[in-house]
Chain A
Amino acid sequence: MSTQPLSQFETTKETTEETTKQKDVMRVESLTYTYPGAPKPSLHAIDLPIRRNKITALIGPSGCGKSTLLRAMNRIHDLYPGNHYEGRILLATPEGREMEDILEIKKENDLIRLRQRVGMIFQKPTPFPMTIFENVAYGLKLSGMKNKSDIEERVVTALQGSAIWKETKDRLHESAMGLSGGQQQRLCIARAVALKPEVLLFDEPTSALDPISTGAIEELIAELKKEVSIAIVTHNMQQASRLSDYTAFMYIGDLIEYNKTSKIFLNPDQKLTEDYITGRFG
Chain B
Amino acid sequence: MNRLMLNKLILALSTASAVIGIGFLLWILTTLVVKGISSTHLSTFTHDLVDGGIRNLIVGQFTMALLATIIAVPLGLMAGIYLREYSQSPKLSATLRNLSDVMMSAPSIVIGVFVYALFVDPFGGYNGWAGSIALAIMMVPIIIGTTDNMLALVPQELREAGIALGGSKHKIILQIVLRAAKVGITTGILLSFARIIGETAPLLFTSANNQFFTMDMSGQFPSLTVSIYNLATYPDAASQDLAWAASFILTVIVLIINLGGRYLTRHKH
Contact = CB atoms under 8 A, between A and B. Distances in A.
Nearest to A139: B165
B176 to A, nearest CB: 5
Contact of A74 (B159, B164, B167, B182): B164
A98 B168 CA distance: 27
A142 B167 contact: yes
Interface in B156-172: 157-169, 171
Contact of A120 (B164, B171, B179): B164
Contacts of B158: 126, 128
Given A81-B88, A124-B155, A124-B157, A115 B164 contact: yes
B180 interface: yes
A113 interface: yes
Interface residues of B, number: 22
Interface stretch (A38-46, A56-64, A159-167, A188-196): A188-196
Given A115-B165, A124-B157, A142 B176 contact: no
B91 interface: no
B166 A79 contact: no
Contacts of A188: 161
A125 to B, nearest CB: 9
B267 interface: no
Contact of A126 (B155, B169, B179): B155
Which among B161, B166, B169, B171 has the highest number of chain A CB atoms within 10 Å?
Answer: B166
Contact of A113 (B161, B166, B179): B166
A269 B73 CA distance: 63
Interface in A118-156: 119-120, 122-124, 126, 128-130, 138-139, 142-143
A21 B202 CA distance: 72
A108 interface: yes
- Size band of the A side of the interface? 20 to 34
A177 B269 contact: yes
Label chain B's interface by main secondary structure. Answer: helix
B179 A138 contact: no
A112 interface: yes
Contacts of A115: 163-166
A112 B164 CA distance: 8
B165 A142 contact: yes
Contact of B166 (A112, A129, A130): A112
Given A122-B157, A142-B171, A188-B161, A116 B179 contact: no
A76 interface: yes
A136 to B, nearest CB: 10
B166 A116 contact: yes
Interface string A74-91: 101001010000000000
A192 B166 CA distance: 10
A119 B175 CA distance: 19
Contacts of A168: none
B179 A130 contact: yes
A34 interface: no
Contacts of B179: 128-130
B161 A112 contact: no
Given A81-B88, A112-B168, A177-B269, A126 B161 contact: yes
A195 B164 CA distance: 11
Contact of B157 (A112, A126, A142, A177): A126
Contacts of A112: 166-168
A112 B162 CA distance: 11
Contacts of A178: 269
A175 interface: yes
A139 B168 contact: no
Interface string B135-158: 000000000000000000001011
Contact of B163 (A79, A124, A175): A79
A76 B160 contact: yes
A162 B162 CA distance: 19
Contacts of B182: 129
Nearest to B178: A129
Contacts of A76: 160, 163-164
A130 B180 CA distance: 9
Contacts of B171: 142
Nearest to B160: A76
Contacts of A138: 165, 175
13 contacts: A76-B164, A112-B166, A112-B167, A115-B163, A119-B164, A120-B160, A128-B162, A128-B176, A138-B165, A138-B175, A142-B167, A178-B269, A195-B165
Given A76-B163, A119-B165, A120-B164, 14 more contacts: A76-B164, A79-B169, A112-B166, A112-B168, A115-B165, A115-B166, A120-B160, A124-B155, A124-B157, A129-B176, A129-B180, A129-B182, A139-B166, A142-B166
- Interchain residue pairs A-B with the least CB separation, the first 5: A126-B161, A120-B164, A139-B165, A116-B166, A115-B166
